[in-house]
């Protein structure tokens, strides 16, 4: 279970993103989409979350997401 601060973060993130007129995209691996889940649990999240990728295998990270091979793990 995550500490309260992390669980409360999506609401704060959404408020800040709306205030600053920015959107969010995520690329997750070991979290398995949990960050996106936390964001989308918040009503109105579609106004800030534009896309989310879960790329777990090294092959997916290499072919689907541009990243430095040193940060795959």
For residue range 15-67, list pLDDT tens digits in order.
999 999 999 999 999 999 999 999 999 999 999 999 999 998 888 887 777 65
Residue 54 DSSP SS3: strand
Question: Residue 68: pLDDT above 60?
Answer: no
pTM: 0.72
Reported confidence tier of residue 3, pLDDT bands at 50, 70, 90: low
CA within 13 Å, CB half, 42:
20
pLDDT score at 4: 58
Using an 8 Å Cβ cutoff, are 54 and 29 in contact? Answer: yes
């Amino acid at each position: 279970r995550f500490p309260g601060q992390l669980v409360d973060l999506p609401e704060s993130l959404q408020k800040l993103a709306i205030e600053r007129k920015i959107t969010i995209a995520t690329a997750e691996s070991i979290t398995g989409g949990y960050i996106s889940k936390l964001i989308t649990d918040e009503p109105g999240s579609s106004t800030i979350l534009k896309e989310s990728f879960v790329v777990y295998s090294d092959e997916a990270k290499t072919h689907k997401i541009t990243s430095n091979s040193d940060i795959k793990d």
